[in-house]
Amino acid sequence: MSLYLHPSITPDTIREAKGAGIAGVKSYPAGVTTNSSSGVVDYESFYPVFAAMEEVDMVLNLHGEAPPSPSTATQSTQQITVLNAEEAFLPTLKSLHERFPNLRIILEHCTTAAAVEAVKQCGPNVAGTITAHHLFLTIDDWAGDPINFCKPVAKLPSDRVALLKAATSGNLKFFFGSDSAPHLLSAKKGLSDGGLGAGKCAAGVFTQPNVVGFVLEAFQNACQAGIAKEGDLNQERVRGFLGGYGRKFYGVAEGSARIKLKAGGASVQNIRVGGPSGGESGMSDTVVTFRSEKPTYAVEWV
């Protein structure tokens, strides 16, 4: 369980939370002050909180994006867009790591080659998570397709290559984090804000039921594309990325439960979450799963 970084959190809150078994504090850029002229996120008011987290060894989970520039920004302003928001955040990551070298920090859902490089350059207390969907998607996949739209947005093909390399590299700094979001299809399509239904699309991709299979498929694609070598992708690396490296970073002992995957044994199903029983499922009671209807691995507990 995590706390949400908010001005009401004090060093005492952190110590109390640690005692109660809280593992981390999640920070979203919306929760912090922004110097909008430069896009730099100002965490200064949270320094005492971070110092307490460092002291009690609690993880800082960063949504690493600089907040967007106001649309009135002029040509002389450095403009933050969905495309460069993560890269613009990286100096903040580095400065937090320098100031609190013993604070364990996770740059959540990395989407760029620049983020991968920044995590590598930091010490062992900084790691990065990578989602299953960002191992598949690039900008072309969400341009005009709300199902694949999430934040941070999927970036360029070269960024996807960097994520696949990091995920398959056996580097303990990179491990899987699903960031799966079960929005209703009506919300994904931006129909749920009243009126005609011309609203904005909810950001988030739903992968949870099939996420282990998706990662395996992405790894296979990486091998086929020459991004990873099949010989390097032994069970240790796959298991490490999917769970082991994350457990190690969090200091959680290895579990005993195991799953078994069977290639081609299933297809991706959407999830029905409510609505009247019987009859057709509609947009307001369906969560569309990533790679819907595509063949995938069957998973069973062993």
Interaction of residue 261 with a copy of itself, rule CB under 8 A: no
By CB under 8 A, the count of residues binding a copy of itself is 51
Range in contact with a copy of itself (rule: CB under 8 A) among 88-96, 172-180, 237-245, 279-287: 279-287
Q: Which of 153, 166, 215, 233 binds a copy of itself (CB under 8 A)?
A: 153
Closer by beta carbon to a copy of itself, 2 or else 208: 208
- Could you tell me which stretch among 57-65, 119-127, 169-177, 184-192 binds a copy of itself (CB under 8 A)? 184-192
Distance in Å, CB of 42 to a copy of itself, minimum: 22
> Which lies closer to a copy of itself via its Cβ, residue 24 or residue 29?
29
The CB-of-282 to a copy of itself minimum distance in angstroms stands at: 8
Q: Is 281 in the site for a copy of itself (CB under 8 A)?
A: yes
Exactly one of 292, 295, 298, 299 binds a copy of itself (CB under 8 A); which one? 292
| 225/263 with CB nearer a copy of itself | 225
**Least distance (Å) from a copy of itself to the CB of residue 264?**
19
Among residues 50, 149, 214, 241, which is the contact residue for a copy of itself, using CB under 8 A? 149
| Distance, CA of 116 to CA of 127 (rounded, Å) | 9
φ/ψ (deg, to 5) at 241? -65, -45
30 binds a copy of itself per the rule CB under 8 A = no
C-alpha 27, offset from chain centre: 13
Nearer to a copy of itself, 54 or 65 (CB): 65
Q: Is 185 in the site for a copy of itself (CB under 8 A)?
A: yes
Contacts of a copy of itself in 64-83 (CB under 8 A): 68-69, 71-76, 79, 81-83
Does residue number 189 form part of the binding site for a copy of itself (CB under 8 A)? yes
- Choose the stretch contacting a copy of itself; rule: CB under 8 A; options: 31-39, 115-123, 212-220, 278-286: 278-286
**Tokens read off for 238:** 């796959």
d(CA 230, CA 237): 11
Class of residue 244 by CB neighbours under 10 A (exposed 0-12, middle 13-18, buried 19+):
middle
Binding site for a copy of itself (CB under 8 A): 68-69, 71-76, 79, 81-83, 138-147, 149, 153, 156-158, 161, 185, 188-191, 196-198, 200-203, 224-227, 270, 281-283, 286, 288, 292
